[in-house]
Amino acid sequence: MKRVSFYGCLAWFSLSLFFLFSLVAGKVANISFYLLMLAAFIHAFHAIKNRDFEIFYVWKQYLWVYLGAIGMVLAVLLHEIAVNKIRMHSYDVTSRVGLLGLLTWGAISLSTRQMKSLRWVFMMGTVIATAKLVTFTGDGDTRVPVVGFISIIALSQLTLLLSIFSVFSIVWNERRNFLASCFLGLAGLVGLYDIFISQTRGAWISIPIFIFLICLVFFKNTRSTKTVLWASVLIIALAGSFSTTSIVRNRVEQAVNDIHLYNNKQNRNTSVGTRFQLWRASWILFSENPIFGVGRDKFEGSLKDFAMRGVITIDASTYPHSHNDILFSMATFGIFGLIGILAAYFAPLYYFVRDMRHSDREIAAAAAMGVSLCLGYIIFGLVDVMFMWRICDIFYSMSIATFLAFIIRKKYELQQSGATH
């Protein structure tokens, strides 16, 4: 297979466009998604025409990842069959993850050299998205709920992930280039600044996990005790510096106060208190509809019914989701929703964790990006929803497709050269 091809360039353009501008321009994510799909179809046609199927067998090794990605689509389908109401628009968002296998096939049309160049795209995308956040918030002076077409929570969390990708991509530098490594590493600091001015507490929780993963990759050949020590030092230093700021102190104190007010039944409509109410209501909905759930179209109506019964407050009944990905999937699509979202999380996570142990450092770095993505979505999804919004679904699938494609392409090249794994 040729390293440079039309469909390979098309795939590179779609991924570059996505990681650069999808968080700042509303139409970019969809355009990039469909361009990568187009590259996948052209790649498939080319492979069939030339009977070039060798890399297909490496792609097929990750079949369970692609099947896991279909889980939420199946959950929606089973719910709609149960209520005898099939609607095509119901699959618009979930299909963005469900088509992961095809997206990955499109992405592997890139050469590893083309994929490595995406490290600069990760870096610039982080800077561009943070610049947008700085503009909308007045450099952190005000906290707006929505930044353009995307919520401030989702924007800050996805920008943080982009910055983490940039840090890991230092390993992709073909030579030990100190200046290039500094630029890529500085994107990590930009990501930290992003979640600082956005005041997104859910993203703050994920930082220790990301630091530990970074230490695992960059201290791969050192003893585990040294890796843990370095990670602990960095986490403590970062926590100490953050805790000296008024923004962090105020947000932490606010959370503690919200919990106190909720427990003492003084005010249930605080940020944390509302989440507690929504989680309780979602669990009740699941327990009452455990097989197929109530469906997304009836979720808000169910909350209003709970408000009338005094289970939650009227203010809490105005939310369109549970502020928790797993509970929302359970409430809306029952046990199949639970299985679907767990498959979307843990099928790729399993393979990425496995490939982090690969002897090739570039493969290990790409796998670490995938682990960061999956764990990030799991952590972010504890206090908010990610898979309800199209941009978040596309970011998840496009990112996984990119990292899997790099791993597949690199393994294929090692296999062709006869290198050991």
Q: Tell me the pLDDT tens digit for each residue of 169-211.
A: 999 987 778 899 999 999 999 999 999 999 888 888 999 999 9
Confidence of residue 244 (pLDDT cuts 50, 70, 90): confident
- pLDDT, averaged across the chain: 92
Predicted pLDDT at 51: 87
Instruction: Record the tokens describing residue 91, joined without a space.
Output: 């699959």
Rounded distance between C-alpha atoms, residue 8 and residue 58, angstroms:
18
Predicted pLDDT at 225: 80
Contact 188, 124 (CB under 8 A): no
Percent of the chain with pLDDT over 70: 98
Contact 151, 355 (CB under 8 A): no
**Measured CA angle at 104 (ends 360, 33), to 5 deg:** 130
Predicted pLDDT at 419: 56
Instruction: Record the tokens describing residue 305, joined without a space.
Output: 């019914």
Confidence of residue 418 (pLDDT cuts 50, 70, 90): confident
Predicted pLDDT at 2: 47
**Measured CA angle at 18 (ends 168, 211), to 5 deg:** 25
Quick one: the chain helix, strand, coil %, rounded to 5? 75, 0, 25
Average pLDDT over residues 236-240: 87
Predicted pLDDT at 420: 47
Predicted pLDDT at 294: 95
Q: Tens of pLDDT along 342-377?
A: 999 999 999 999 999 999 999 999 999 999 999 999
**In angstroms, how far is CA 329 from the centroid of its own chain?**
17
Helix (H/G/I), strand (E/B), else coil: 146: strand
Confidence of residue 318 (pLDDT cuts 50, 70, 90): very high
Closest CA to 165 of 213, 203, 130, 199: 213
Average pLDDT over residues 270-281: 94
Confidence of residue 4 (pLDDT cuts 50, 70, 90): low
How many residues are listed for the chain in this entry?
421
Which residue, chain included where needed, has tokens 């040294």?
226
pLDDT above 70: residue 3: no
Percent of the chain with pLDDT over 90: 76
Helix then strand count (H, E) for the chain reads: 19, 2
Instruction: Record the tokens describing residue 358, joined without a space.
Output: 């690969």
Predicted pLDDT at 231: 87
Average pLDDT over residues 254-269: 91
Q: Tell whether the torsion through CA atoms of 296, 103, 35 and 136 is positive or negative.
A: positive
Closest CA to 93 of 316, 332, 392: 392
Q: What is the DSSP string of 147-215?
A: ETTEEHHHHHHHHHHHHHHHHHGGGG-SS--HHHHHHHHHHHHHHHHHHHHHT-HHHHHHHHHHHHHHH
pLDDT above 60: residue 421: no
Confidence of residue 248 (pLDDT cuts 50, 70, 90): confident
Phi/psi for 23 (5° steps) reads -90, -5
pLDDT above 60: residue 401: yes
The beta strands (E) that lie in 79-154 are given as 146-147, 150-151
